[in-house]
Chains A and B, each alone.
Chain A
Amino acid sequence: MPLNPKEIKEKADNLELDYHFDIRLKRRNVKIEDIKYHLKNSNPIIKESEDNENKYKLSYQLEKDKYLTMYILNTQKGLKLLTVFIEKRIK
């Protein structure tokens, strides 16, 4: 069943990150508090993965052409963050 914004908000407190995340957050100047804030309070553009039914791309608009984008896994326990970055989209 596709992930919906309501489920994302409910699972935001159970966000799983492993040690690989330290370098990504540091390098890309993204704070974990900002990720959780958007997960809890904003509605993302949700894109489903073509080869993994539990993998999703979530994009939260920050500016006209910039998004806080993350790839996540939707698990029974919560959400596992795979990667996060500031995405610039090209028209």
Chain B
Amino acid sequence: MLNHLEGKGKIDYDYKEDILYFYIEKFMSKGSHEYRYSFDLDGFIVDIDNDNHVTGFELLDASKRLNVDKMILRFIKAGRFNARVKANLIIISFALTSVIRNKPMQITLNAERLNTPKLQETGIECQITPSG
């Protein structure tokens, strides 16, 4: 059975170095969810907790990978994050809303990687707000 969690997450964007970091700040269920390690999937760094849940990810060269202007990533206001680990796949997706000059813009990412780390089947979804 899929171990499913919900939480609230934060986005931190390093504009100068173009690095987007997402992390789950608060879980809606009990458990320590302590950071254990990360997998580096070609510059897509996935954080795993002590229960084998995906609790964050970091994207190097984020604007290039997402094919958006850096300014859009700088003004992220809200979004949703979803990570699902299946037997063979790690599926990470998010939808972010950025607002520039009062104009809302949507950014979406759907990334699939083979579950070569052999993570247990889990799912997590959460709302995102900017950090700081």
Give A residues with C-beta under 8 Å from B: 18, 20, 23-24, 27-29, 51, 57, 66, 69, 71, 73, 80, 82-83, 85-88, 90
Within the complex, which residue of B12, B14, B38, B116 is in contact with A85, where a contact is CB–CB below 8 Å?
B38
Contacts of B40 in A (CB 8 A): 57, 69, 85, 87
- Contact status A27-B47, CB under 8 Å: yes
Give B residues with C-beta under 8 Å from A: 10, 12, 14, 16-17, 19, 21, 23, 34-40, 45, 47-48, 56, 58, 60-61, 116-117, 131
- Contact status A87-B60, CB under 8 Å: no
Complex: A81 Cα to B112 Cα, angstroms: 27
Within the complex, which residue of A18, A28, A66, A90 is in contact with B47, where a contact is CB–CB below 8 Å?
A28
Complex: A80 Cα to B17 Cα, angstroms: 10
